[in-house]
Amino acid sequence: MSARWIDIGEESTYGTAPDDMDKSLAYIDLDFTPDQGRLIDLESAYVMKPVSILGPFVGTGRVVQYARPHAIGYFLKWALGSVTTTQVGSSEMYQHEYTLDLSSIKSFTVQDNRELSNKALQYLGCLIKTLTLEAPARERVTLEAEIQYRWEKEVDKSSMLTLDSIRPFVFHDASITSSGGLTVSNIEAFRFQIAHSRPDDIHEAGSRKLPEIYFESSEWTLEFDLKWKSWTARKNFWAAESNETEPADEEKTFDVTITLTGAPSGVTDKPNYELVISLPKCVVKENPASVSRRDRLTQRLVLEVLDDDNNKITLYNKDSAY
């Protein structure tokens, strides 16, 4: 079949492909770029660089896909580390609750299968550095993973596993709420991003490969594109109350819940596939609201998510485990 797809599978040992892949995925964009870290220097006796030596290997990758309710569960686990799964009643639906635990994050393998060849490339020791869920205006929701990987190799191409046939989430599936006075009406689009700090200079003597899974910190941001209707969003940025007329002297936090209610599941106990992002403590960092001629008025709210034990993402689908 003239198709392009990737297979993904969790690794039990960092940098070692699993015997069997977990899932096959269609994608929108795919880009894996290795860096051989070549050491090429000029020396005094030469007018051109005389020699090249292979140095530390670091690969970077990017996968963009439509956010379908089964496939995204793998990437949420590999981005956050901790997942707790419970069955919804006695039905075939399951609730997966993801929370941040950097020490529990697992690596995974991505296998790049393309037409015209019976061979594939495996990208080994993949770790998610940035995961972005974006709901563009009037469009399907996308999930983008920016990846650092340890090594790559050629293997025999495998047969495609069953693809996720459930429709992706779309922008009009979204419901955004806040009980703290945050402006959440007239939102046209949103982006939620989880970004981990992971150094690429931790190589050890004796190997060109990255030695271990290691993360320094995590930063979560949320952006809303809104119609401009009033100065209410600017008061959110001021950390002020709605009746105040200038910036406050003390910070104010806001809770945000984003619910994507997707395709029907056919299950009475949980009639729809669903994704819920719960962020109890956010601050508004930016509120750009520029004007150009007679273009319609728009603005943006940029929030940073603060540390809280109740930060979580909950996914409802028919996968019994991740």
Residue 118 forms part of a structural domain:
yes
- Reading the block at residue 211, the tokens are 């030695």
Is 40 part of a structural domain of the chain?
no
Q: Do residues 126 and 62 make contact, with C-beta atoms less than 8 angstroms apart? A: no
Looking at residue 1, what is its pLDDT?
Answer: 54
Q: How far apart are CA 153 and CA 185, in angstroms?
A: 49
The answer to whether 127 touches 107, Cβ cutoff 8 Å, is: yes
Amino acid letter, residue 61? G
Q: Is 42 within the bounds of a domain?
A: no
For residue 48, being part of any structural domain is answered with: no
Query: C-alpha dihedral over 74, 276, 320, 273, to 10 degrees?
Result: -110
Measured at the CA of 103, the angle between CA 97 and CA 209, to 5 degrees, comes to 125
Q: For each successive 10 residues of the chain (322 residues), what is the average pLDDT? A: 90 98 97 96 91 95 98 98 97 98 98 93 98 96 98 96 95 94 92 95 94 96 95 92 92 97 97 98 95 93 97 98 96
Instruction: Tell whether 44 is covered by a domain.
Output: no
Helix/strand/coil (H, E, C) string of the chain? CCCCEEEEEECCCCCCCCCCCCEEECCCEEEEEEECCCEECCCCCCCCCCCEECCCCEEEEEEEEECCCCCHHHHHHHHHEEEEEEECCCCCCEEEEEEECHHHCCCEEEEEECCCCCEEEEEEEEEEEEEEEEECCCCECEEEEEEEECEEEEEECCCCCCCCCCCCCEHHHEEEECCCCCCCCCEEEEEEEEEEECCCCCCCCCCCCCCCCCCCEEEEEEEEEEECCCCHHHHHHHCCCCCCCCCCCCCCCEEEEEEEEEEECCCCCCCEEEEEEEEEEEEEEECCCCCCCCCCCEEEEEEEECCCCCCEEEEEECCCCC
pLDDT for res 242: 85
Of 272, 277, 276, residue with least CA distance to 317: 272
Asked whether residue 146 is domain-assigned, the answer is yes
Q: What is the pLDDT at residue 106?
A: 98
Q: In Å, how far are 102, 114, 314 from 98, measured between CA atoms? A: 12, 32, 6
Q: How many residues does the chain have?
A: 322
Domain that holds residue 257: 5-35+54-317
Domain count, the chain: 1
**Residue 20 resides in a domain:** yes
User: Are the beta carbons of 215 and 105 closer than 8 angstroms?
Assistant: yes
Residue 165 lies in a domain: yes
Q: Residue for token digits 């997966």? A: 96
Rounded to two decimals, the pTM is: 0.94
- 3-state secondary structure labels for all residues of 19-50: CCCCEEECCCEEEEEEECCCEECCCCCCCCCC
- Could you give the angle at the alpha carbon of 167 between the alpha carbons of 162 and 171, nearest 5°? 145
First to last CA, the chain: 29
pLDDT at position 170 is 98
